Amino acid sequence: RGMRRCSPKYKVVGKVQGHLTHLLCHSPEPSEEDDIDEEVDEEEEVRPESLSSEELEKLKEAVDERKKLIQALRGKPWPIKKKCVILRESQEFVEKYEGALGKGKGRKLYAYKVLMSKKWMKFQRDFENFKTACIPWEMKIKEIESHFGSSVASYFIFLRWMYGINMILFCLTFGLVMVPEALMGRPYGTIPRKTVPRAEATSAMDFAVLWDFGGYAQYSVLFYGYYNNQRAVGWLKFRMPLSYFLVGVGTVAYSYMVVIRTMARNANESGVGDDNSFNFNWRMFTSWDYLIGNPETADNKFASITTSFKEAILEEQESQKDDNIHLTRFLRVLANFLVLCCLAGSGYLIYFVVRRSQKFSQRDSNIEKEIHVNMVMSLLGMFCPMLFDVISALENYHPRVALQWQLGRIFALFLGNLYTFIIALMDEINLKREEENIIKFNITVWEASLFNGTVSVNSTAPPVTIEPADVPRGPCWETMVGQEFVRLIISDTMTTYITLLIGDFLRAVLVRFLNYCWCWDLEAGFPSYSEFDVSGNVLGLIFNQGMIWMGAFYAPCLPALNVLRLHVSMYLQCWAVMCCNVPQERVFKASGSNNFYMAMLLVILFLSTLPAIYTIVTIPPSFDCGPFSGKQRMFDVIQETLESDFPAWFGKVFSYASNPGLVLPFMLLMVLAIYYLQSTSKSYKEANMELKKKLQTVVQNMFPPLVQQSCFNVYF
Amino acid sequence: MGNKQTIFTAEQLDAYQDCTYFTRKEILRLFDRYRDLAPQLVPLDYTGQPDVKLPYELIGSMPELKDNPFRQRIAEVFSEDGEGNMTLDDFLDMFSVLSEMAPRDLKAYYAFKIYDFNNDDFICQSDLVKTLNKLTRNELTEDEVRMVCEKVIDEADLDNDGRLSLEDFQHMIVRAPDFLSTFHIRI
């Protein structure tokens, strides 16, 4: 009614906006909308050029609103038919008024902007299509989901996500480190560090030596020691040492970014954390897993839902349970004490085995020493969790809490093992560095003997040509570290696969075929088929990734190895799960949100980059192998690049920026910013609680049906 | 990507991509699944927007739905006629809402409609009893069923009218940690 008093031009804009709100609040029949559409068309064709600037603004707003509606159309709870009609109308409206909106000087630019944004949207859509076509193993995961439910499938989805990360790390190390050195660096055999020493040449091709990553495998792009310290290689003048250093830093930075981004996304989705106020509601409305597509799994699910309801009812009825609280407390303390003993015992065992193997390192061959350490670590990793499981029976916790304790203990076990391994490695590094000093001294003696005393030290005689294979070598501790990590990963993988084959496959075969001639029912009683251990497998995956992060700087081949390993694991475990496992009877997730495992991954990422950073910053590189040989510290390559490749003023700016007088206030500022953000987030949480309470009282006081209906309309 | 398909016009495919959470390839794959249910009823040419409905029995026998205790309600909620007989549009709609990419609010809206058995825009006591019996296959006693339903209404009913409205339901379900992962069908 108010519109009739305005000019006809306003009528068009106003009518359009009114039409929009009309569409959003009601659901007219398609025929009705055609009538309205025709009405708008029949209105005088108002040319946008003849509108004044405010009317133009209003028209622009209407066009923008329509555009936003098109973007948000997917999320509206309307049937597709209605959405298609609205989509078509909005698109026609936008086309009709948009192209002509820019007037005068700005017109061409506006039309150009519109064209570009259309092309951009089309590109985005094609890219999305391409991305979803690239996602591997979708059907495999779907099959597992329908047989085992979403918690088992979540492990495989996590595996796939890890595979993606490792693929990117592989591309970085392969493309920027391994390929340039292989193609543009000096070829094999030209300089001492790239040649197998004369003493080892006869056994360099043996399978046993290659499997242990010695021989030709050691003197290749796979390990740190092969790389030359030449500042620029090839016709591209590729800065090899700089690239090596930056790729090492870049892999860690990329991993941090991806993990934190995923955590932030998960945190957004799951909203407020664990809350127990809707216990029965959640059991009723979110317990059925819609992914299930298999009758046996469905049966299991029905049974577990029934059990869970019965348990909840029992808990509700017996909410006062204080008898035997002292006994329970005592048992829990006892259990924790036993677990601590186990952890201490396993740590001491690893330390003992490593020291023993060092003492006898001359007698035993390298391979036997490795087998001792890795075997002990893998066996501990297999048996201690079972022991923790048995001990936790004393504690009498709710299954979800018990699972969290179990995961925490296994985490502590693996962490202890890993750090004991690193301490042993540090001892080795120190040994090798002492050896290096001795060898440096020996080389000067050897060089003097080459001239046989015929020429004095300071004269300029032509240098004697020697075969690179005959030059005495330093021990190259970095390659040794890389080799240790590669061997650890390989033995860990082998252990996992063998455990899988024996523990799951052999067990299933025995249960299946011995059942015909056995006294009791093997399938229903002991041992029956195994269940898929989601949390154990996820932890194994996380720790493996930690080892990759630790060793990738010293062995550029590690990401490639890991990609291969994950690829094989995916197929092997998918097959094993479908063939030998049965669906779990009771499903308890470790926590409500997915962030539990992400948080663990972040902790491991931090803890595994610490040793690598420590060695880079404190230990000087070997004098004759690797891209940083000859420097005082590995990060000197940055200083060198700044001095030689960048203009002088850049170096000055950088030196000012790295001045402690500037860095310290900056760090102080960041600490203050963190404190400020923390306190605002706390106050937001409190405001949230207040609003929640207010919402309850306000809704209670209003007339229920009418206002709620309009609230719903406004919400949508 | 080849444009060789003749089932839909390019505009139709673009419109479907704007209205659902599916990409072009997924929409064509869904059409193949729809057609596989009844090849003689579903034509290969949808450019003229034919009016083809598949009866509920065919939909309910799909491997993704056949073990779901709520399959009848799902089909009823998403079908145009409210009886479970679905056109291709309804089919796409259903799997789009149940896909991984649909947001929490959209899923909560449709979950509410699915659990509202008598279609009165409220989840009342009888709806809850039916839901619980479907979930436990009638294994709980009458007392237990009554107790659970009372607790459910106690916990979530904000306006104290003895039944759950859409707001009550949404308020409760957006905080559920498992909702997004269980209210999901992969196709």
Q: Which of B5, B8, B14, B19 to mutate to test the interface with A (most CBs of A within 10 A)?
A: B19
Per-residue model confidence as pLDDT tens digits over A274-287? 556 788 888 889 88
Domains in chain B: ranges and CATH: 8-102 (1.10.238.10), 104-186 (1.10.238.10)
Tell me the pLDDT band of A460, cut-offs 50, 70 and 90: low
Q: Is the dihedral of CA A13, A17, A18, A20 positive or negative?
A: positive
| Contact indicator for A149, A292 with CB cutoff of 8 Å | yes
The helix or strand, by DSSP H or E, that contains position A530, with its residue range, turns out to be strand A530-531
* Residue A547 Rama label (left phi>0; alpha psi -120 to 50; beta): alpha
**Does B174 contact A275 at a Cβ distance shorter than 8 Å?**
no
Of B136, B175, B180, the CB nearest to A305: B136
Q: What was the pLDDT predicted at A111?
A: 76
Of A87, A150, A306, the CB nearest to B182: A150
**Does B23 contact A128 at a Cβ distance shorter than 8 Å?**
yes
Tell me the pLDDT band of B161, cut-offs 50, 70 and 90: confident
Percent of the residues in chain A that have a pLDDT greater than 90, as a whole number: 13
| Contact indicator for A548, A559 with CB cutoff of 8 Å | yes
Give the number of A-B residue pairs with CB atoms closer than 8 Å. 190
Distance from C-alpha of B78 to C-alpha of B59, rounded to nearest angstrom: 12
Tell me the pLDDT band of A248, cut-offs 50, 70 and 90: very high
Angle between helices A399-450 and A534-551 in degrees, nearest 10: 20
Q: Which of residues 586-645 of A touch B (CB under 8 A)?
A: 589, 591-593
Of B19, B23, B166, the CB nearest to A87: B19
How many other C-beta atoms can be found within 10 angstroms of the C-beta atom of residue A715?
11
Statement: residue A444 has pLDDT above 50: yes
Of A269, A280, A291, the CB nearest to B184: A291
| Contact indicator for A171, A178 with CB cutoff of 8 Å | no
**Does A74 contact B21 at a Cβ distance shorter than 8 Å?**
yes
Q: Average pLDDT for residues A19-48, to the nearest whole number?
A: 44
Eight-class DSSP state of A177: I
- Token readout for A122 is 């089309």
Name the CA dihedral angle for A346, A352, A358, A360, rounded to a multiple of 10 degrees.
-130
Distance from C-alpha of A543 to C-alpha of A414, rounded to nearest angstrom: 8
Q: What was the pLDDT predicted at A453?
A: 56
Q: What was the pLDDT predicted at A15?
A: 52
pTM over 0.90: no
Statement: residue A2 has pLDDT above 70: no
Of B26, B144, B155, the CB nearest to A132: B26
Residues 6+ apart with CB under 8 A from B170: B105, B108, B109, B112
**A579-582: Cβ within 8 A, 24+ apart:** A579/A505, A579/A508, A580/A504, A580/A505, A580/A507, A580/A508, A580/A529, A580/A530, A581/A148, A581/A504, A581/A529, A581/A530, A581/A531, A581/A532, A582/A528, A582/A529, A582/A530, A582/A531
Q: What was the pLDDT predicted at A705?
A: 53
Task: Compare A43 and B132 and report the one with higher pLDDT.
Answer: B132
CA closest to B177 among chain A residues:
A592
Q: What was the pLDDT predicted at A12?
A: 45
Per-residue model confidence as pLDDT tens digits over A480-515? 888 888 888 888 888 889 888 888 888 888 888 888
**Does A290 contact B80 at a Cβ distance shorter than 8 Å?**
no
CB contact, 8 Å: A293 with chain B? yes
CB contact, 8 Å: A585 with chain B? no
Per-residue model confidence as pLDDT tens digits over A517-529? 888 777 777 777 8
Angle at A492 between CA A486 and CA A493, to 5 degrees: 90
From the CA atom positions of chain B, what is the Rg in Å?
Answer: 19
Statement: residue A105 has pLDDT above 80: no
CB contact, 8 Å: A279 with chain B? yes
**Does B172 contact A592 at a Cβ distance shorter than 8 Å?**
no
The helix or strand, by DSSP H or E, that contains position A267, with its residue range, turns out to be helix A240-270
For A362, what's the count of Cα atoms within 13 Å in the CB-facing half-sphere? 1
> In A, which residues are within 8 Å of B70 by CB distance?
288
Statement: residue A681 has pLDDT above 50: yes
Statement: residue A365 has pLDDT above 90: no
Q: What was the pLDDT predicted at A32?
A: 40
**Does B175 contact A271 at a Cβ distance shorter than 8 Å?**
yes
Nearest by Cα to A395 from A333, A343, A344: A333
**Does B155 contact A280 at a Cβ distance shorter than 8 Å?**
yes
Tell me the pLDDT band of A28, cut-offs 50, 70 and 90: very low
Tell me the pLDDT band of A318, cut-offs 50, 70 and 90: low
**Does A284 contact B21 at a Cβ distance shorter than 8 Å?**
no
Q: Average pLDDT for residues A246-260, to the nearest whole number?
A: 93
**Measured CA distances, A305 to A299, A585, B55, B132 (Å):** 10, 10, 31, 10
Q: What was the pLDDT predicted at A37?
A: 42
Q: Average pLDDT for residues A686-697, to the nearest whole number?
A: 83
| Contact indicator for A627, A295 with CB cutoff of 8 Å | no
Amino acid letter, A157: I
Tell me the pLDDT band of A319, cut-offs 50, 70 and 90: low
Q: Average pLDDT for residues A144-163, to the nearest whole number?
A: 85
Least confident of A199-208, A301-310, A598-607, B117-126: A199-208
Amino acid letter, B91: F
Residues 6+ apart with CB under 8 A from B56: B72, B75, B79, B83, B84, B85, B86
Statement: residue A337 has pLDDT above 50: yes
Q: B89-98 burial, b for 16+ CB within 10 Å, e for fewer?
A: bbbbbbbbbb
Amino acid letter, B116: D
Determine the distance in angstroms separating the CA of A36 from the nearest CA of chain B, rounded to an integer: 21
Query: Mean of the per-residue pLDDT values for chain A?
Result: 79
Query: Mean of the per-residue pLDDT values for chain B?
Result: 89
- Token readout for A116 is 């570009």
Q: Average pLDDT for residues A365-376, to the nearest whole number?
A: 66
| Contact indicator for B111, B77 with CB cutoff of 8 Å | no
**Does B66 contact A287 at a Cβ distance shorter than 8 Å?**
no
| Contact indicator for B39, B52 with CB cutoff of 8 Å | no
Per-residue model confidence as pLDDT tens digits over A48-104? 556 677 887 888 888 888 888 888 888 888 888 889 999 989 888 888 877 666 555
Q: Which of residues 658-697 of A touch B (CB under 8 A)?
A: 695-696
**Does B18 contact A87 at a Cβ distance shorter than 8 Å?**
yes
Supply the ipTM of this predicted assembly: 0.90
Q: What was the pLDDT predicted at A35?
A: 42
- In degrees rounded to 5, what are phi and psi of residue A102? -70, 125
Task: Compare A202 and B59 and report the one with higher pLDDT.
Answer: B59
Whose structure tokens read 């690598």? A612
CB contact, 8 Å: A29 with chain B? no
Determine the distance in angstroms separating the CA of B66 from the nearest CA of chain A, rounded to an integer: 7
Task: Compare A617 and A714 and report the one with higher pLDDT.
Answer: A617
Determine the distance in angstroms separating the CA of A713 from the nearest CA of chain B, rounded to an integer: 11
Q: What was the pLDDT predicted at A323?
A: 62
